[in-house]
Amino acid sequence: MIDKNKKSGIKSWPQDDRPREKLLKKGAAALSNSELLAILLRTGVKGVSAIDLARQIIDKFGTFRNMNHTDMREWKKFKGLGPAKIAQIQAALEIGRRFREVEVLPPKQKIASAQDVVRNIMPQMSDQMRDLKTEVFKVVYLNSNNRIIEIADAATGTVNHAMPIVREIIHAALQKFAAAIICVHNHPSANIAPSPEDKKFTQELTAAGKLMDIKVLDHIIIGDGNYFSFADEGIMG
């Protein structure tokens, strides 16, 4: 017979088996994916502990990568998973993604060609493109010696096109004291030929850069391991 008075929550477990205590004693690497997720969740719901809820989520998505960019409706199917807990998980996933971006970015590397940009940014773009079916738009901010200050996301868009805002890109460049910028985005279709919208955007951004004394050196389109460079093709306008 099941003892209905017996507690099943994490607080009733031996201390060494509780995820948070286990992490503090043995380190994060000693925890399973479910245990790490349970620490983020903190609490479960009646009859379901945080670790049980975490296991349900892991069973559903399989990996943390699969959780990234998942439709919000999929998260809401879990009993006990409200907006606050979903936000905590999404924030942690984003921290992990940004951590990988820092790992692949050489500090203040000098950019001399489109190939240099692609070599630096392809690991980041490839990582995001595996998770997304939409365009990812990034801006490479450079100092007066064409050394990288920062590579930052500018916008995400639909499958057909990104919608970066020229004013915001130029404003960000001024805030970072950038002397030049290079724009990079992917084409999910793998067709790297620039669209009419790509050409129009490049012209508008170049014109705005001239007004604010910021050089727009290139606009690079990445697709399926290949790339197209406006500068290399002589069509920066």
Nearest 10 degrees: Cα torsion 171, 192, 115, 142: 0
Domain ranges of the chain: 10-100, 107-229
Q: Is the pLDDT of residue 4 over 70?
A: no
- Residue from 8, 9, 218 nearest 111 by CA: 218
CA atoms within 13 A on the CB side of 136: 21
52 or 17, higher pLDDT:
52
Please tell me the CATH code under which domain 107-229 is placed.
3.40.140.10
How much of the chain is in helix, strand and coil states, percent to nearest 5? 45, 15, 35
pLDDT, one tens digit per residue, over 136-149 is 888 999 999 999 99
Rounded to an integer, what distance in angstroms lies between the CA atom of residue 73 and that of residue 166? 32
pLDDT, one tens digit per residue, over 67-106 is 876 778 888 888 888 888 888 888 988 888 777 765 555 5
In the structure encoding, which two tokens stand for residue 135, read together? 């365009």
